[in-house]
Structure 1
Amino acid sequence: MALQLRRKTHESVVYIDRDSAPRIMPSGEDFILEDLPIGTRVLYPNAPIKGLPNREAAIRYALNHPHGCDPLFAQLEPGMRVTIAVDDISLPLPPMATPDIRQTVLEIVLDMLTGHGVDDVHIIIANSLHRKMTEWEMKRMVGPKVFNEYYPDRYYNHDAEWADGMVKIGETKHKEPLSLNRRAAESDLLIYVNINLVPMDGGHKSVAVGLCDYESLRAHHEPQTIRDSDSYMDPEASELNRKCIRLGRLVDEHLNVFHIESAINNRMYKGDMDFLLKNEDDFTAFDRMKFEAMRYTMNKLPRPARRKLLHSRPSQYEMIACHAGKTDPVHKKTLEKGFEQYVIPVRGQCDILVTGIPDISPYNVYSILNPLLVQVMGLGYHFNFYRHKPLLKKGGVLILHHPCYDDFDHQFHPSYIEFFNRLLPETRDAFVLRDKYEREFANNPSYIEMYRRGNAYHGAHPFFMWYWGENGRQHVGKVIAAGAENAHVPAILGWERADNLTEAIAMARSYMGNSAEITMLHQPMIGIADME
């Protein structure tokens, strides 16, 4: 009876009892069924908030009723220089079904600019040190009309390594430097188009991070900042956010920035994959049939084909709010709506936290979730899906279910390969890695060339990925890679391995005791555990 009562604490918090159905867990490109121990707490994402019925109208209203400044049309004059910066392919995940929200915003804004005699307009993808988007990806994001009119001379990726294309803005009082894209910084008006997927996105981070260079990013993408962020999904407790605010206010002192932010719901899938968002106890016969059909298909395909199939399924997110204007008031409204969608009230920390690692991250779109990215999703993103205090007790065990294959994308992640195979066997100490090797990778001419001329992440990027797991690494007692198909990848990462989840839970209980409380994050999870 007690278990039945606990099942009612919140619709997104479910406790496993004797008649509970097995749970679906992602493990890379696979989906497995697992019977969890009785009493395990499973956190599901909240039900999606209904999307706005007319997002075009919502965008137009936001442009004409901004927060903290004049309407966009009132700021426009013939002959002025305008730059529009847009989030890159790392948002949202997976890439949206077309038309992308950015396409809708751009078409409305560009029509307004044309109507007011503004023809000196550039569109810049704010990719910071991420890989540059490919031509196909750029066209898909903004649609053929915008692409054909602006690409390639007036629609392009930010280049953080083009010295002439960057300009020094200044320093904060804490001696944090900031250099930005010259075209954006020297425009009469900079319009930033953001899609807010998690609370870490948007706000002052948009311009100060998306359009900066390596030296600027280095001031806050570093181990101590991440250790001091509790968590970086909770802006009020995030040192990373505090540093971005300082830099963003420096931006606002020197640039005229008009933000357009969109909050979206968490409806990642519809149709034949919508069952992944549901409680398995509530599955219909049709849901079970869809899962079995997907699992049968996946089992027949080699891993690259499974990956390609998963990456071909666009997300079905819907706009639930749109706000425009000055940075702080806009982002405050966006965060309020985002937390309304994501916050899950949770009482009590757990001893063992279990999460499957799906083939989804901001850094492997149309690519491989390599070992460093498995690490950043587990110890970084999934661990940090909380506010007030961690879901996992200090010294607890984190179980990640993923095959941990030793596979890298040589086009997108070349510096990751050297980082993983050369540096991590020497040390996993983030501070040593930063002091001894980060600049070597950042200044490597080959990595710079692959970033600038190809589609590679910047040479320093694997360091940032390692740092982003730093607060998780300092908090957990052990990490166990369940389902790992080899021993050396978990060993290099400093983890233990288990053949399956049952073995991993037994190992965790041997550390934490047989009465250890277990919580599972049900994936795909876009939610914030609001810890009491």
Structure 2
Amino acid sequence: MVAVEADFGARKISVDLPDHSTVIEFQNPKFLDDPDAEVISALQKPISSPPLAELVRPGMTVAIGFDDPTRPPLPWQTILPKVIDVLTRGGIKDKDISLICANGAHRKWFPDELKRFLGDELFDRFWPIGQVINHDCQNPDGLSLLGTTERGGYVEHNRRFVEADLSIYVGTVSATYVGGYSGTGAVTGLASANSLASHHAHRFWHHPKSTTGDHRTMMYRGMKAEVHDYMEKAMGKRIFYVNSVVGVGGQMAGVFAGYSPEVEAPCWDLADTFSVYPSPQADVMVIGLSNWFAYGEADNTLIAAIGCLNPARIWLNRPILREGGVVIGLNPSAGQIDSTMYPSYQEVIDLYDRHHDISDLAEHELEISSRPDYLDLYENGNSYHPRHPFWLMYIGHYTLQRAAAVIMAGTKNPGAFRKLGITPCRDFDHAWQTATKIVGQSPTTVAAPTFWTRRQFKFDVADA
């Protein structure tokens, strides 16, 4: 046996795995020697677009969308000042520059959180004049309905962003369980709840062409591209993107600017060089779960659950988890949900407990998402939108169906995870015994002990 140090909430634990196990941890690429200079160069020599300075005219209104603080702040604190400097030199006044936190259906962020994310200088410059705002995916006054795509994508997005003379989006590109790689953040981060629901539906998340890490072929990314194309045509202008390709802590390996989709290819090519790891197909996957990742603390039942379920979606060539395999997540989760920050989560979990299949939840999505008490908490209480847990459940459905068992090892609240179809075990040894009863005594084992604390990556699964 080989001892592997794995994330387990706020600490590490040592787990004994078979000697032939494959242990994968994200390894940082070479980072940029001079990120500031590279950002300036990207703005001066963008892909398929004139230089940013040539797009600027005095008196313009400019909207800058940026990924929300579920990500490390370093790229935005590096890029945004350079973008704003170009705008200022071009004659744009501060009162005509909007900084829009693209939180999609995530919660709205408190001022102190936005200040930490943007940095003191930008926040103190733009917040007092009302030019730093949280996107609101629900309030129709702040949204602009542009139409519907051929496949039913509802194109309704942030009004300030849509109606600005110049629309800019600053985001990051890294491996993710939705889309293969992140990018084109305006489509999701600045969308209305109805727009998000049109491409976050169960029929997209669970479609075989979406349960993969291949960004070039997956159905969900194709739907995003369709919405993006419609959005730009309806706006009558292109969106200028500044994408950084990042490693641990948001450190930058590259930065590219220009129009989408052209700007995406070099981002993907660079990310492929350090985000794809060879792996056998697993009988057992072991996933370390830290105390905070994705959308909050792992004491939250649903957040801990997606920590177990979602890594199995990020594969290339063939599925990382064999049919009938086992996933073991490691976390002492309390299985408790903060009803002020995640007000609809528990009700959605309880609904699932009363249904045979996650797909049946779709019948309740509109009803739950229209509840006045939930919407008031979203609008005024910095809570997640009531639709959010439905989408997490849809995404997790793939692994729950593929695996013979998904196990949460170490949870303090066994019943909370049973409601989600996840088997609780008191510790890793008990979980391993349970797994080997299902898959045999010498399973092909793939461990990702720091999957959530370092960076997500793609499993490139070898042929049989």
What TM-score bracket applies, with the shorter chain setting the length? Answer: over 0.9
Within a 5 Å distance, the mapping from 1:74-93 to structure 2 comes to 74-91=54-71
Which residue does the alignment assign to 1:117?
91
Alignment counterpart, residue 334 of structure 1, candidates 244, 267, 279: 267
Which residue does the alignment assign to 1:272?
none
Which residue does the alignment assign to 1:531?
461
State whether residues 63 and 99 of structure 2, in contact with CA within 8 Å, keep that contact through their aligned partners in structure 1. yes
Which residue does the alignment assign to 2:335?
406
Structure 1 stretch displaced more, 212-221 or 492-501 = 492-501
State whether residues 404 and 489 of structure 1, in contact with CA within 8 Å, keep that contact through their aligned partners in structure 2. no
SS at match of 1:101: helix
Which residue does the alignment assign to 1:377?
307
**1:356 partnered with 2:293:** no
**1:36 partnered with 2:42:** no
State whether residues 257 and 263 of structure 2, in contact with CA within 8 Å, keep that contact through their aligned partners in structure 1. yes
User: Per-residue CA shift, 1:381-408, capped at 9, x if unaligned?
Assistant: x212322222110111111122232212
Hey, what's the Cα distance between the residues in 2 that align with 1:481 and 1:108?
45
1:458 counterpart letter in structure 2:
H
Within a 5 Å distance, the mapping from 1:247-326 to structure 2 comes to 247-255=227-235, 256-265=238-247, 267=248, 315=249, 317-326=250-259
Q: 1:131, CA displacement in angstroms?
A: 0.5
Hey, what's the Cα distance between the residues in 1 that align with 2:127 and 2:389?
30
**1:472 partnered with 2:399:** yes
Say if 1:234 and 1:360 are closer, same or farther in 2 by CA, change over 3 A.
farther
State whether residues 203 and 327 of structure 1, in contact with CA within 8 Å, keep that contact through their aligned partners in structure 2. no
Hey, what's the Cα distance between the residues in 2 that align with 1:231 and 1:426?
25
Which residue does the alignment assign to 2:26?
45
Structure 1 stretch displaced more, 403-412 or 130-139 = 403-412
**1:136 partnered with 2:115:** no
SS at match of 2:203: helix
SS at match of 2:337: coil
User: Per-residue CA shift, 1:404-462, capped at 9, x if unaligned?
Assistant: 32212233212113223x31321262221111x21122111111111111210001111
SS at match of 1:320: strand
SS at match of 1:423: helix
How many positions carry a matched residue from both structures? 450
Hey, what's the Cα distance between the residues in 1 that align with 2:383 and 2:254?
33
Hey, what's the Cα distance between the residues in 2 that align with 1:237 and 1:429?
27
User: Per-residue CA shift, 1:457-511, capped at 9, x if unaligned?
Assistant: 0011111111111221222121122222233122111122222222212211111
State whether residues 230 and 389 of structure 1, in contact with CA within 8 Å, keep that contact through their aligned partners in structure 2. no
Alignment counterpart, residue 180 of structure 1, candidates 157, 163, 170: 157
Hey, what's the Cα distance between the residues in 2 that align with 1:25 and 1:475?
24
**1:445 partnered with 2:372:** yes
SS at match of 2:228: helix
1:442 counterpart letter in structure 2:
S
Which residue does the alignment assign to 1:234?
214
Which residue does the alignment assign to 1:102?
76
Question: Which 5+ residue runs of structure 2 have no aligned equivalent?
Answer: none
Which residue does the alignment assign to 2:148?
171
**1:432 partnered with 2:365:** no
SS at match of 1:452: helix
Q: 1:362, CA displacement in angstroms?
A: 2.1
**1:386 partnered with 2:318:** no
Hey, what's the Cα distance between the residues in 2 that align with 1:232 and 1:194?
22
Q: 1:74, CA displacement in angstroms?
A: 0.5
SS at match of 2:333: coil
SS at match of 2:293: coil
Which residue does the alignment assign to 1:148?
124
Hey, what's the Cα distance between the residues in 1 that align with 2:148 and 2:45?
33
Say if 1:124 and 1:345 are closer, same or farther in 2 by CA, change over 3 A.
same
Q: 1:232, CA displacement in angstroms?
A: 4.7
User: Per-residue CA shift, 1:55-109, capped at 9, x if unaligned?
Assistant: 1111110001011111100011111111000000122xxx34xxx2212211111
SS at match of 2:187: helix
Hey, what's the Cα distance between the residues in 1 that align with 2:301 and 2:37?
43
Q: 1:231, CA displacement in angstroms?
A: 3.4
Question: Which 5+ residue runs of structure 1 have no aligned equivalent?
Answer: 1-17, 268-314
State whether residues 202 and 261 of structure 1, in contact with CA within 8 Å, keep that contact through their aligned partners in structure 2. no
State whether residues 263 and 334 of structure 1, in contact with CA within 8 Å, keep that contact through their aligned partners in structure 2. yes
Hey, what's the Cα distance between the residues in 2 that align with 1:243 and 1:168?
18
Under a length normalisation based on structure 2, what TM-score does the superposition of the two structures give?
Answer: 0.93
1:416 counterpart letter in structure 2:
Y
2:57 counterpart letter in structure 1:
E
User: Per-residue CA shift, 1:149-207, capped at 9, x if unaligned?
Assistant: 21151111001111111111111111221101111111111000002232535433x11
Hey, what's the Cα distance between the residues in 1 that align with 2:411 and 2:298?
16
State whether residues 226 and 232 of structure 1, in contact with CA within 8 Å, keep that contact through their aligned partners in structure 2. no
Alignment counterpart, residue 504 of structure 1, candidates 413, 428, 431: 431
Hey, what's the Cα distance between the residues in 2 that align with 1:264 and 1:425?
39
Alignment counterpart, residue 417 of structure 1, candidates 327, 334, 346: 346
State whether residues 404 and 490 of structure 1, in contact with CA within 8 Å, keep that contact through their aligned partners in structure 2. no
Runs of 4+ in structure 1 over 6 Å off? none
Hey, what's the Cα distance between the residues in 1 that align with 2:38 and 2:403?
43
Hey, what's the Cα distance between the residues in 2 that align with 1:362 and 1:531?
24
State whether residues 195 and 262 of structure 1, in contact with CA within 8 Å, keep that contact through their aligned partners in structure 2. yes
SS at match of 2:49: coil
**1:213 partnered with 2:141:** no
Q: 1:379, CA displacement in angstroms?
A: 1.0
Say if 1:326 and 1:486 are closer, same or farther in 2 by CA, change over 3 A.
same
**1:157 partnered with 2:139:** no
Hey, what's the Cα distance between the residues in 1 that align with 2:229 and 2:140?
24
User: Per-residue CA shift, 1:333-363, capped at 9, x if unaligned?
Assistant: 11111111111122x3121111122223221
Hey, what's the Cα distance between the residues in 1 that align with 2:162 and 2:153?
18
State whether residues 352 and 358 of structure 2, in contact with CA within 8 Å, keep that contact through their aligned partners in structure 1. no
Q: 1:240, CA displacement in angstroms?
A: 1.2
SS at match of 2:26: coil
Within a 5 Å distance, the mapping from 1:49-64 to structure 2 comes to 49-64=29-44
